[in-house]
Amino acid sequence: MVCGAMIEIRPAVPADVATIRRLIVALAVYEREPDAVKATAEQLHAALFGARPVAEAVLALRDGVPVGLALFFTSFSTWEGRAGLYLEDLFVLPEARGQGIGKALLVHLAGIAVARDYARFEWQVLDWNTPAIGFYKALGATPRDEWTVMRVAGAALTTLAGTASPPA
């Protein structure tokens, strides 16, 4: 038996905000969108640890060093009448991949979902990312191929909000 690095998954705490932001920026750099991260440390702190948190985060540490992040929020299933876990971002630093850390994060989140009696655990994946899709399927996930996410944001959102809506 080969003993490797020590991996720990734990909930993020307020002192982790700078680390979380660093991991988010690293993800954006990896995806070649280094300027896409507008989130400030203050915003992340408020979202995760403010008076009315809207998201939660867990960190993966390898030998005590943060190398992975999962950021999620609570969804809700109308038909089930139960909440769900919606994983917004999952990220493992490139140099820490291939060691089961992504899987450990997903298993940890599934454990949170079960402990809270959530109805489901969901996230999105890019269609062309067949290795990721295969990995997720092997973990028991089902692709909701027949559904498309619609999004309104930016100027379109402001416009829609200001649309006069005279029902007949």
Site for a second copy in 14-73 (CB under 8 A): 24, 28, 36-40, 43-44, 47, 54-55, 71, 73
Closest CA to 105 of 118, 120, 115, 91: 91
Catalytic residue among 30, 86, 118, 136: 136
For the sheet with 7-11, list strands across it.
7-11, 56-62, 65-77, 82-92
What whole-number distance in Å separates Cα of residue 59 and Cα of residue 5? 16
**Nearest-approach distance from CB 15 to a second copy, in angstroms:** 18
What whole-number distance in Å separates Cα of residue 147 and Cα of residue 145? 6
Q: Which is nearer to a second copy, 131 or 167 (CB)?
A: 167
| 100-159 positions binding a second copy, by CB under 8 A | 100-101, 103-104, 106-108, 110-111, 113-115, 118-128, 133, 136, 139-153, 156-159
Counting residues that bind a second copy (by CB under 8 A) gives 84
136 is catalytic: yes
